[in-house]
Structure 1
């Protein structure tokens, strides 16, 4: 059963949210990446999780059906973590399992560090550590955080040269090309499925415009080195072997800096959620939430 809501998270700011699954089941909050609607979580994955959880996904500010407010009321990335808590508050959820991808993984780390009492478990996908602790390789050598592998330069080039004022079809073409790179080289790219999902997101949003708010928002004050090293929240880190945004060993580093974190590998996965990764990903998340 689908239940849609609008949740007031700040003066003049409302976020669209959707619930699936038994309302009495343990809540599981999905936090998507930057500039991404909650519909970026594929229905197939949401439904698999909803067989055991009250699954909540939502649109960040300046995405989907939520308030687009950055141009008149700029905010910081840390405010987006507060939004996640406000969604839980608005839906009457005291504690939740939280799954975050990309920027959503960073927001989940902020929740881990600042509001551990609100999390049953955390799962982090396609993200980097909010920590200055260096990475210790299996051979004992140490790599400073700033020397971990960078984003694929082809993706950086796309971000730096994004055309403006594209017509709707050209906008879809750009998004598909972008997802082709994010998909990585480990799994065949399903252009038709990606284009259809983006059409759904455009219909959900009501227009094909894209905000750059999350890239321009204040990113300061996000390091949580000591708090992550001391957390008691059970945490799962997903290692995507073909990840182009935070390539290996970013996931391995993330699992090192969070106290007690476990690491699970999804072979062939990149910085996207194509159908072949959904079953192993759902199994890993459910196995993790089932231990709490």
Structure 2
């Protein structure tokens, strides 16, 4: 299915689906500055072949979904928890998308910031979440899941001015946070960067999304109250969200925890079968 733009209760979201519409719906939520195409096409196809009707979408302020307004101050976000919008607002966007698609509940899978959004969505709308899978994410507690200094600096690097500069920078950053236990596929990340640039860049939106993360609350207590079947997946070599974030998330949820040796802050093709099997096992348990 090709991309489509959906008006969802006051916000415009770009969406795409894979698989049989009669299959159980599964919603994929992407992370910081990342459009939906960072859920690789083939990964989505494999999820559909595993028995799901797969939905991916651009969060607000990225790709072809609606771009927001308002200036984000990262110090204000961190110290005063002040931001143009919150992770809760992003979670509500996901709910509005499901409403527009006529989906009452879905299996929800989020990665990185998308894992935070997925957690927030489950807290706010527990009856709409059949299962929750949180990948390379954290609880919002400021004592866990911290990035390495090098990874943090890379996230704050000035935005590039040209397509070539963007591609070069994104490939460099992707290599920095990638999985040391697996071969880095530079061609794959270069093509992803080119496709991302061509779909539209929103540098101010990246800072608004980052402000939403920095201003977010600790979700631990609310996660403990959830009874949603949950799975947490995290790489043991993640430099951007330390594995302590995944462990804390699993403890709070009482979730299954799958720690993948050698995996960083990405999903190498080699781990796809393991990740998809875990999602399916949780859904059919």
With normalisation by structure 1, the TM-score equals 0.86
Q: In 1, Cα distance between the equivalents of 2:69 and 2:138?
A: 25
Partner of 1:31: 29
Q: CA deviation at 1:98?
A: 0.2
Partner of 2:232: 237
What are the superposed Cα offsets for residues 38-69 of structure 1, whole Å, 9 maximum, x if unpaired? 11101121111111111000001111111112
Residue 251 of structure 2 aligns to a residue whose secondary structure is: helix
What are the superposed Cα offsets for residues 126-178 of structure 1, whole Å, 9 maximum, x if unpaired? 111145xxxxxxxxxxxxx62x4630111111223x23452110111000011
Count of residue pairs the alignment pairs up: 271
Q: In 1, Cα distance between the equivalents of 2:145 and 2:129?
A: 30
With normalisation by structure 2, the TM-score equals 0.88
- Structure 1 unaligned regions, length at least 5: 132-144
Structure 1 pair 191–67 and aligned structure 2 pair: CA distance change class (3 A): same
Partner of 1:70: 69
- Structure 2 unaligned regions, length at least 5: 73-83
For 2:89, which of 59, 79, 98 is the aligned residue? 79
For 1:159, which of 155, 163, 166 is the aligned residue? 155
CA RMSD of aligned residues (A): 2.0
Partner of 2:269: 275
Q: In 1, Cα distance between the equivalents of 2:186 and 2:223?
A: 38
Q: Does 1:9 align with 2:8?
A: yes
Partner of 1:40: 38
Partner of 1:228: 223
Q: In 2, Cα distance between the equivalents of 1:221 and 1:194?
A: 29
Q: In 2, Cα distance between the equivalents of 1:282 and 1:90?
A: 26
Contact residue 145 and residue 246 of structure 2 kept, 8 A:
no
Q: In 2, Cα distance between the equivalents of 1:93 and 1:221?
A: 27
Q: In 2, Cα distance between the equivalents of 1:85 and 1:22?
A: 21
Residue 269 of structure 1 aligns to a residue whose secondary structure is: coil
Q: Does 1:112 align with 2:122?
A: yes
Q: CA deviation at 1:201?
A: 2.1
